[in-house]
């Protein structure tokens, strides 16, 4: 990262008008996961060394003070709970259900899932409470999704044919996918208590229902070789109707496809993003829908920025849409350590209900929470 | 108790005789000629406060610069009866010539006529307007007047000022003209007596513009105590820079200041101190990364003012930086230096 201090000063002055709020934190080690554990806290975990920390961070309270910001002292992230994991954490999910303080992690080059208790106010330790041992080792880590039933359960898989739903309390396998597809899993997510969607690395979407093992498959029309795909589902959690969901898929070549489950034969929207590198690492590709802004989509993992788009502006002829907003802040984190590799945003998430608030993390260990100004609609 | 002896304005002999026979109105006129002022309070025995209602201009809604603070600083001092209207001096607009002693002709011409380009404007944080030009010139005039009055009375406070990020040929960080530099230059050249000026800049951001302007000037000493990780990241070299770590609190801040100011005053022996009492080291400040409290700021200001005044050195204060969306709380915070000055005035000057 060779941004001059003068460029950083320029960006700082501009940021005063681009953001309503911007808070920066430096983790000792970078994270590739950010998972909401409550309205004001997130969980992050290291992936870059053999022994990694899992941390629950409280967001700067100033963010929530609204007009009374002057009365709120806290402008920093605070570590509320922490624990150590014996493997690099590839995937981390907060589990829905009775306990509410449970997360599950999967590791790099690992054949197990680990279950953790985040702890309450009386303790600051995140404790491991269980291990689920599986047959297959996954180099990139098993993908995980939280079940949406009262009894905590987790959906996981590294290949389509080994996707299972496991009840956490007992370790019992509640459901297994009935297919022999060897496609690698890129991501999975429940739409409601029973229906779920899986995205494979090659972009094929699978739709299943835990009430029967049969699974529907929707392959991509044109095959784009050497591309890896990630997906983001637009749902009204926790009880969505599959037909009302839109799914976005992002490829490592920068292609974005929007599809509607009512009509999977052709996409409802498409875009081609400009990429700086020809073959960026596809480890970190993230595409998500804004929970509180209709049709707003964000993309990260292709470089050191997070791009926010208004997909209603995507037309069939103009394939290179302009983003509504670009977060470049990670390039200007003045505390960032760099080892010469190009900076990349490892993950990002939207705030569950604040319209324009996002969190993003980068490969240099920085983590930002930011609330951007929509200049076009001039709203704050 | 130390008594400060009022310095007399040195009028040439014939003028003194003439003055005796003039009426009061004419005496005011003479006063105005020596002071850069629209209105003076020569008969007031109270702490001189310098303010102009045109220290403000309109900004787009939700602009991050808290323009509304300037009139509010005066209002809260009046409301709390710290001062009355009879001690408010009003400055003149800073002239082209005055500004030209620091800023380049090209920059001044572009700035005054609105020809600075978009990139330059972005670095300042402001979009050009003629109202903006006018308010900056009044603000600069205010700092000049405060310095002049301080020389005569011992202590004076502006309700604005501290635009220390302005360089000779460009603006930066909400600063368009460098008021402290213009005031220092004016006082260096105005008098036939050689003067030494110490600029004590305790704004949380380094006084980079001022440091640059006076780097080769032996008669002006620039001292900046600031947070290292705050803007600007590209630092200049003041004559003395003290870079503080994030999160520093009242006690350590004051002891750091106490480690530097006394020897500086003794070694440099200034004839005037210009004090930038920025409140952005406060824990509530949106941009600053330190953790001072209201009490900490008050003790800081009192310490600086007492240290300087007790040595018989005149001091002029400016409010410096402070960033908050709660402008009322911010104005109250900025008025801390005036309250400290009123206390020091009462104890040591009158």
Which range, of A261-275, A302-316, B10-24, averages the lowest pLDDT?
A: B10-24
Token pair listed for A49: 């060394």
Q: Among A5, A6, A24, A70, which would you mutate to test the B interface (most chain B Cβ atoms within 10 Å of its Cβ)?
A: A70
Q: What's the rounded Cα separation, in Å, for the pair B45 and B60?
A: 40
- Closest by CA position to B46, among listed B84, B101, B76, B3: B84
Token pair listed for A346: 């490892």
Tell me if A69 and B325 make a contact (CB, 8 A cut-off).
Answer: yes
Tell me if B329 and A70 make a contact (CB, 8 A cut-off).
Answer: yes
pLDDT tens sequence across A88-135: 999 999 998 877 799 999 998 888 999 999 988 888 899 999 999 888
Strand order in the sheet with A127-138: A89-94, A102-107, A110-117, A127-138
Q: What pLDDT shows up at residue B8?
A: 37
- Closest by CA position to A331, among listed B233, B147, B193: B233
Question: Residue B223 in contact with residue B199, Cβ under 8 Å?
Answer: yes
Q: What pLDDT shows up at residue A19?
A: 94
Q: Is B62 on the interface with A (CB under 8 A)?
A: yes
Q: What pLDDT shows up at residue A307?
A: 96
List, by residue range, all CATH 2.130.10.10 domains of chain A.
31-62+78-179
Q: What pLDDT shows up at residue B5?
A: 35
Token pair listed for B192: 């036939």
Q: Is A292 on the interface with B (CB under 8 A)?
A: no
Tell me if B324 and A70 make a contact (CB, 8 A cut-off).
Answer: yes
* CA separation, residue A348 to residues A42, A80, A262, A310, B324 (Å): 12, 20, 28, 17, 28
DSSP string, A180-233: ---PBEEEEEESSSSEEEEEETTS-EEEEETTEEEEEEE--SS--TT--EEEEE
A337-343 own/partner pairs: CB under 8 Å, 24+ apart:
A337/A364, A337/A365, A338/A1, A338/A364, A342/A277, A342/A303, A342/A304, A343/A1, A343/A303, A343/A304
The domain segmentation of chain B, as residue ranges, is: 3-349
Q: What pLDDT shows up at residue A61?
A: 83
Q: Kindly report the CA angle at B7 between B149 and B29, in degrees rounded to 5?
A: 50
pLDDT tens sequence across A193-236: 899 999 999 999 999 999 988 899 998 876 655 688 999 998 77
Which residues in chain B touch residue A13, judged by CB atoms under 8 angstroms apart?
A: 122-125, 172-173, 231
| Torsion B178-B181-B187-B189 (CA) sign | negative
**Residue B116 — φ and ψ, nearest 5°?**
-75, 140
Give A368→chain B minimum CA distance, Å.
Answer: 15
Determine the length of chain B: 350
Which residues in chain B touch residue A67, judged by CB atoms under 8 angstroms apart?
A: 325-326
For residues B107, B113, B118 and B123, what is the CA-based torsion angle, rounded to 10 degrees? 50
Which residues in chain B touch residue A8, judged by CB atoms under 8 angstroms apart?
A: 233-234
Q: Is B125 on the interface with A (CB under 8 A)?
A: yes
Give A326→chain B minimum CA distance, Å.
Answer: 17
CATH 3.30.70.1290 fits A31-62+78-179, yes or no: no
Contacts of B166 (CB under 8 A, 6+ apart): B103, B172, B175, B176, B177, B178, B181, B209
Q: What's the rounded Cα separation, in Å, for the pair A167 and A155?
A: 9
Tell me if A70 and B234 make a contact (CB, 8 A cut-off).
Answer: no
* CA separation, residue B283 to residues A184, A287, B184, B323, B330 (Å): 50, 37, 31, 11, 12
Q: What's the rounded Cα separation, in Å, for the pair A46 and A89?
A: 6
Average pLDDT score over residue span A170-181: 90
**CB neighbourhood size of A273 (10 A):** 19
pLDDT in tens, chain B (350 residues): 333 333 334 444 444 444 444 555 555 555 556 899 999 998 999 999 999 999 999 999 889 999 999 999 999 999 999 999 999 999 999 999 999 999 999 999 999 999 999 999 999 999 999 999 999 999 999 999 999 999 999 999 999 999 999 999 999 999 999 999 999 999 999 878 889 999 999 999 999 999 999 999 999 999 999 999 999 999 999 999 999 999 999 999 999 999 999 999 999 999 999 999 999 999 999 999 999 999 999 999 999 999 999 999 999 999 999 999 899 999 999 999 999 999 999 998 87
Q: What pLDDT shows up at residue B33?
A: 62
Which residues in chain B touch residue A9, judged by CB atoms under 8 angstroms apart?
A: 123, 172-173, 231-234
Tell me if A13 and B124 make a contact (CB, 8 A cut-off).
Answer: yes
- Choose the closest CB to B284 out of A5, A73, A335: A73
CATH of B3-349, picked from 3.40.800.20, 1.10.760.10, 3.20.20.70, 1.10.3720.10, is 3.40.800.20
Question: Residue B247 in contact with residue B202, Cβ under 8 Å?
Answer: no
Token pair listed for B331: 């104005």
Q: What pLDDT shows up at residue A65?
A: 75
Q: Is B118 on the interface with A (CB under 8 A)?
A: no
Q: What pLDDT shows up at residue A334?
A: 55
Tell me if A17 and B283 make a contact (CB, 8 A cut-off).
Answer: no
């Amino acid at each position: 990262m060779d941004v001059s201090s003068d460029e950083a000063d320029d960006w700082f002055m501009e940021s005063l008008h681009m953001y309503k709020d911007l808070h920066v934190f430096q983790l000792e080690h970078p994270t590739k996961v950010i998972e909401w554990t409550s309205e004001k806290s997130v969980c992050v975990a290291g992936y870059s060394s053999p022994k990694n920390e899992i941390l629950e961070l409280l967001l700067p309270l100033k963010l929530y003070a609204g007009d009374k910001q002057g009365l709120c002292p806290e402008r920093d992230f605070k570590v509320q709970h922490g624990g150590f994991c014996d493997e690099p954490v590839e995937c981390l999910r907060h589990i829905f259900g009775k306990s509410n303080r449970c997360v599950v992690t999967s590791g790099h080059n690992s054949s197990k899932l680990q279950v953790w208790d985040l702890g309450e106010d009386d303790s600051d330790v995140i404790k491991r409470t269980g291990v689920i041992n599986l047959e297959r080792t996954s180099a990139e880590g098993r993908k995980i999704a939280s079940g949406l039933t009262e009894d905590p359960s987790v959906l996981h898989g590294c290949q389509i044919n080994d996707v299972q739903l496991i009840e956490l309390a007992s370790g019992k396998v509640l459901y297994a996918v009935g297919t022999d597809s060897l496609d690698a899993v890129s991501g999975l997510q429940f739409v409601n208590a029973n229906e779920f969607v899986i995205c494979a690395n090659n972009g094929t979407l699978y739709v299943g229902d835990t009430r029967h093992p049969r699974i529907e498959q929707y392959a991509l029309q044109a095959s784009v070789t050497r591309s890896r795909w990630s997906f983001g589902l637009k749902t009204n959690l926790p009880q969505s109707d599959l037909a009302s969901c839109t799914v976005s898929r992002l490829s490592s070549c920068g292609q974005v496809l929007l599809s509607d489950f009512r009509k999977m034969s052709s996409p409802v929207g498409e875009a081609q993003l400009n990429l700086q590198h020809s073959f960026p690492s596809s480890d970190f590709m993230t595409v998500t829908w804004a929970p509180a802004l209709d049709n707003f989509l964000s993309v990260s993992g292709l470089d050191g920025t997070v791009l926010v788009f208004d997909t209603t502006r995507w037309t069939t002829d103009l394939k290179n849409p302009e983003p509504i907003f670009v977060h470049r802040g990670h390039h200007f984190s003045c505390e960032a350590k760099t080892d010469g590799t190009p900076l990349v945003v490892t993950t990002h998430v939207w705030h569950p209900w604040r319209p324009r608030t996002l969190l993003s993390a980068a490969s240099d260990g920085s983590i930002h929470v930011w609330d951007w100004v929509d200049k076009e609609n001039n709203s704050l | 108790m130390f008594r400060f002896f009022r310095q007399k304005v040195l009028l040439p002999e014939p003028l003194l005789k003439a003055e005796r026979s003039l009426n009061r109105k004419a005496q005011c006129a003479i006063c105005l000629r020596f002071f850069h002022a629209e209105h003076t309070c020569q008969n007031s025995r109270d702490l001189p406060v310098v303010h102009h209602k045109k220290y403000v201009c309109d900004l787009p809604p939700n602009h991050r610069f808290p323009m509304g603070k300037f009139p509010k600083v005066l209002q809260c001092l009046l409301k709390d009866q710290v001062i009355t209207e009879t001690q408010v001096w009003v400055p003149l607009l800073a002239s082209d010539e005055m500004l030209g002693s620091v800023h380049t002709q090209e920059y001044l011409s572009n700035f005054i006529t609105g020809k600075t380009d978009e990139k330059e404007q972005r670095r300042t944080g402001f979009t050009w307007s003629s109202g903006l030009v006018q308010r900056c010139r009044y603000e600069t005039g205010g700092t000049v007047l405060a310095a002049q009055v301080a020389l005569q009375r011992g202590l004076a406070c502006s309700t604005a000022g501290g635009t220390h990020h302005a360089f000779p040929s460009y603006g930066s960080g909400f600063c368009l003209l460098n008021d402290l530099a213009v005031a220092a230059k004016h006082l260096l050249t105005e008098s036939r007596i050689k003067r030494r000026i110490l600029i004590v800049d305790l704004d949380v951001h380094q006084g980079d513009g001022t440091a640059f302007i006076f780097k080769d000037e032996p008669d002006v000493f620039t001292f900046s105590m600031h947070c290292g990780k705050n803007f600007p990241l590209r630092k200049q070299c003041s004559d003395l820079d003290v870079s503080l770590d994030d999160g520093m609190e009242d006690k350590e801040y004051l002891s750091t200041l106490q480690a530097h100011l006394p020897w500086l005053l003794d070694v440099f022996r200034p004839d005037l101190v210009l004090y930038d009492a920025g409140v952005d080291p406060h824990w509530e400040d949106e941009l600053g990364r330190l953790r001072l409290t209201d009490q900490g700021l008050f003790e800081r200001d009192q310490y600086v003012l007492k240290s300087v005044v007790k040595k018989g050195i005149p001091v002029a204060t400016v409010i410096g930086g402070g960033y908050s969306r709660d402008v009322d709380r911010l104005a109250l915070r900025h008025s801390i230096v005036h309250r400290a000055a009123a206390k020091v005035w009462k104890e040591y000057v009158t």
